[in-house]
Amino acid sequence: MKSIRWSKLYPRTWQEQFGEEFDEMNSMRGVRAKDVVDIAFHALALRLSGLVRALPFLGAWIVVCFLNVCAKEVQWAAGALVICSAGATAMQPKKWLRNAFGFFAAIPISSLYLYQDTSTKHAPLYQTAVAFIPALVGALFGLAIGSSIGSRSNPRVS
């Protein structure tokens, strides 16, 4: 009888690193009901840890969307783009372009909500492309902050 591959419950990176050994150990030793609960709980915790790391990004994204929809002046949304993009990039400098595009996407997506109101005249949706400028400026600013923080935490030994 073929044994169950319990490692399939875990995230792919974990499977690549530990999967074979984990499945081999479980097939040799056997899996009891208590073990199934432990394996399922641990696999779920590992899968949700990625979501927990994304919560600050999602929260900042929602703030940008909210300011785009509710603020009367565009400067509020642009300022939020700069600050949020800079903060996200300072924490993850290697993902600076993803952060710029990610926060930029909040503007046209939230603008679609505004376009549902047909009683008021709106600018064309393609004009929201201008929002990429503050998102990019913020990402580059965050890149500078992240690299300066990284260089201070890892001083070179002469």
Any domain includes 33 = no
Alpha carbon distance 110, 57 (integer Å): 16
94: in domain: yes
Asked whether residue 153 carries a pLDDT value surpassing 60, the answer given is: no
Tokens linked to 18: 């530990």
- Residue 105 belongs to a domain: yes
Span 148-154, average pLDDT: 61
Contact residues for 47 (Cβ-Cβ < 8 A; gap 6+): 10, 11
Q: What is the mean pLDDT of the chain?
A: 85
Residue 25 lies inside a defined structural domain of this protein: no
What is the rounded CA–CA span in Å between residue 19 and residue 26?
11
Residues 6 or more apart whose CB falls under 8 angstroms from that of 34 comprise: none
CA–CA distance, 123 with 110 (Å, rounded to integer): 14
Residue 95 lies in a domain: yes
At 33 the pLDDT is 86
Q: Is 3 helix (H, G, I), strand (E, B) or coil?
A: coil
CA count, 13 A, side-chain hemisphere, 65: 14
Q: Provide the domain count of the chain.
A: 1
Residue that wins the pLDDT comparison between 128 and 79: 79
Tokens of 89: 């990039």
Is residue 76, in this structure, part of any structural domain at all? yes
Question: For the residues 96-101, what does the mean pLDDT come to?
Answer: 91
- Looking at the whole model, is its pTM more than 0.75? no
Cα→Cα distances 69→60, 86, 100, 108, 123, Å: 14, 21, 19, 10, 14
* Between 155 and 135, residue with greater pLDDT: 135
Residue span of the structural domain in which 130 resides: 54-153
Domain-located, residue 34? no
Handedness of CA 69, 75, 79, 85 (dihedral sign): positive
Compute the Cα dihedral for 133, 140, 145, 143 and give only its sign.
positive
More confident residue, 61 or 112: 61
Between 114 and 86, the higher pLDDT residue? 86
Q: Does some domain include residue 28?
A: no
